[in-house]
Amino acid sequence: MQEGDIAPNFSAKLLSGETFTLSEHSGTVVVLDFWATWCGPCVDKMPTIQALSEHYENKVVFVGMNVGESFDHVQDFIARTGFSYHIGLDENEEIHRNLYPTIAIPYLVIINGEGLISKILIGGGQSMYELIEDAILDALHQIP
């Protein structure tokens, strides 16, 4: 999978109990952030994703896709940290392995309003704000 490809559709359970289905967000920029609680760079990047989700609240959908951990474990982590953007669960890693494969997490995929992968970013930390924001702005400008 690479930039310019059609983003594979999927459905995932959210911590909220709702189901997120990518195809239901056609016309909207979607940011998928694949992460795990044991991944230090993933956790370090989450405040950046939170800040961006607040800044682009009505323009972009943010989903933190947890990879391979249980509902209870992820729910406890989110309760302790207070992140409020959508948190999806990929407990069996089916989405991560089969649809959005990568050799490492954190793995961030930005999908434009036409359903195309606009940007892929691997890596984490708090210093990624500008890089992610630039990619979001590019994706927003790609909406017809």
Residue type, 24: E
Query: What residue has token string 């999978």?
Result: 1
Residue 88 lies in a domain: yes
Q: CB–CB of 20/87 below 8 Å?
A: no
Place of tokens 């409020």: 84
Element holding 31 (H helix, E strand) = strand 29-35
- pLDDT of 144 strictly over 60: no
35 φ, ψ (degrees, to nearest 5):
-155, 170
In this structure, the chain runs to a length of 144
Residue 45: inside a domain: yes
pTM of the model: 0.93
Quote the domain boundaries for residue 104.
25-141
Is 74 a domain residue?
yes
Q: Which residues of 82-101 are buried (b: 16+ CB within 10 A; e: fewer)?
A: ebebbbbbbbeeebbeeebe
In a domain, 47, yes or no: yes
The predicted-structure confidence for 109-141, as pLDDT tens digits, reads as follows: 999 999 999 999 998 766 789 999 999 999 998
